[in-house]
Structure 1
Amino acid sequence: MAEATLDKIRRDFVERSSKELINQLLDDLFADRILNEGEKDAILEENKSRVDKARCLLDSVKRKGNEASGKMIEHLQRRDPTLSSQLGL
């Protein structure tokens, strides 16, 4: 279910998420052990633009399954309630 939700919001998340929000989500998901240090660093270093970082973050979490996707949605709702509402979460 949560994976499908990430699919649904992907385009708008990529367009609307801020650099600060992406960094906060990376830190949260690293703390939850959903992303390891190498994955976190790769998202930051291999993607130059904000939209590429957002796209890579969302796709990386989605590949990890429903539980990981659900945690990302929870963190997104907590970190940016306005964007979450705009995305329909």
Structure 2
Amino acid sequence: DKLKSSYMQRISVLLEDLVSDGVLNELEKESILEGNPVRADKARCSIDSVRKKGDQACRIMIRHLQSIDLSLFSQLRLYSDPSAQQGKKMKTKCHIYIE
């Protein structure tokens, strides 16, 4: 269906951008796409893979998400700029930039 196709396109673009920036390698990208038949699992695996790579990788992913899906970015209240957190502390690396 159209919604599934749109989602798959966005996740593919995000993963390709992460490969281009050296956050993920081609094998990791293919593993996420092919090893997770359920859409939510693809998203979860993508986030988990990037979280393991540290704060800089998380910032890169958040920046790409902002350009790929501004609506989702806004719903999640993400910040690509750490100065936007306004003193809020979070518990996990990728959550540092989530309100």
TM-score tier after normalising by the smaller chain length? 0.7 to 0.9
Q: More helix by proportion, 1 or 2? A: 1
Q: CA RMSD in A?
A: 1.3
Q: What's the offset of the Cα at 1:47?
A: 0.7
- Please tell me whether residue 47 in structure 1 is matched to residue 36 in structure 2: yes
User: Number of paired residues?
Assistant: 73
Corresponding residue of 1:23: 12
Aligned identity (percent) is 53
Structure 2: where are the runs of 5+ without partners? 1-6, 79-99
Normalised by the length of structure 2, the TM-score is 0.70
Identify the structure with bigger relative contact order (alpha carbons < 8 Å, sequence gap 6+). Answer: 1
Corresponding residue of 1:34: 23
Structure 1: where are the runs of 5+ without partners? 1-17
Q: 2:54 aligns with which of 54, 65, 75?
A: 65
Pairing 1:71-86 to 2, within 5 Å after superposition: 71-86=60-75
Asked which structure has the greater CA Rg, the reply is 2
Normalised by the length of structure 1, the TM-score is 0.77
